[in-house]
């Protein structure tokens, strides 16, 4: 992947995809993990957003590595690069967990809907045998939901750490806090 486009470094541009998509994936993953109605309605779009977030991570690290080789080596840049290389380790498993959660829930609901239709077709006096797989499917859903929330939280923390280290690498220790106005100054 090229490092520069028309003389501008690509990394600050590409990294915005990570900055937007990973938090969106985190929020969506937590929602579908803790709210079954949201899972049924928004599960697949959250899987797509999480996949896009996972794809954006190697693009950002690739452009970052290219930029890193064109800048003087500093401890701040080394720290940022090391943290950036770790993000896919969290977002990749988040994608797998949210995909598995949505898939298991989809198959479980589809199976339950099919059983309800069969029971209605057999008449009001018949009893359909309960599915053996229902209990393991519910357990798998709970385990995957907990795993999804944990991976989402870790991914969110890692994105913040990477962003902070990147800002420190680019700007050093400059803090942009509002400066106090002199007494008697008139507001604009």
Dihedral angle of Cα 104, 106, 112, 114, to the nearest 10 degrees: -130
Domain presence at residue 188: no
C-alpha 69: how far from its chain's center? 28
Domain presence at residue 53: yes
Domain presence at residue 127: no
Interval 3-60: pLDDT, tens: 788 888 888 889 999 999 999 999 999 999 999 999 999 999 999 999 999 999 999 9
User: Structural domain tally of the chain?
Assistant: 1
Domain presence at residue 181: no
Domain presence at residue 176: no
* Residue 78 neighbours by CB under 8 Å, 6+ apart: none
Domain span at residue 91? Answer: 4-121+133-171
Domain presence at residue 22: yes
Domain presence at residue 100: yes
Interval 48-81: pLDDT, tens: 999 999 999 999 999 988 888 888 888 988 899 9
Distance separating alpha carbons of residues 10 and 67, to the nearest angstrom: 8
pLDDT, position 175: 59
Interval 149-177: pLDDT, tens: 999 999 999 999 999 999 888 887 665 66
Contact 53, 24 (CB under 8 A): yes
Domain presence at residue 73: yes
User: Residue 9: helix, strand or coil by DSSP?
Assistant: strand
Residue 109: band (very low, low, confident or very high) from pLDDT cuts 50, 70, 90: confident
Distance separating alpha carbons of residues 28 and 152, to the nearest angstrom: 9
């Amino acid at each position: 992947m090229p490092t520069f486009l028309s003389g501008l470094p690509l990394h600050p541009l590409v990294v915005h995809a990570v900055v937007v998509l990973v938090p969106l994936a985190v929020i969506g993953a937590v929602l579908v993990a803790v709210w079954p109605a949201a899972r049924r309605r928004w599960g697949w779009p959250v899987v797509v957003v999480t996949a896009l977030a996972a794809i954006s991570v190697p693009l950002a690290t690739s452009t970052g590595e290219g930029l890193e080789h064109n800048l003087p080596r500093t401890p701040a840049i080394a720290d940022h690069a090391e943290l950036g290389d770790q993000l896919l380790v969290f977002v990749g498993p988040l994608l797998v967990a949210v995909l598995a959660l949505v898939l298991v829930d989809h198959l479980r609901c589809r199976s339950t809907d099919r059983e309800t239709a069969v029971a209605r077709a057999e008449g009001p006096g018949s009893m359909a045998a309960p599915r053996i797989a229902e209990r393991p499917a519910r357990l798998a859903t709970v385990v995957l939901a907990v795993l999804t929330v944990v991976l989402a939280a870790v991914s969110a923390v890692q994105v913040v750490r990477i962003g902070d280290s990147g800002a420190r690498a680019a700007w050093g220790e400059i803090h942009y806090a509002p400066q106090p106005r002199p007494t008697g100054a008139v507001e604009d």
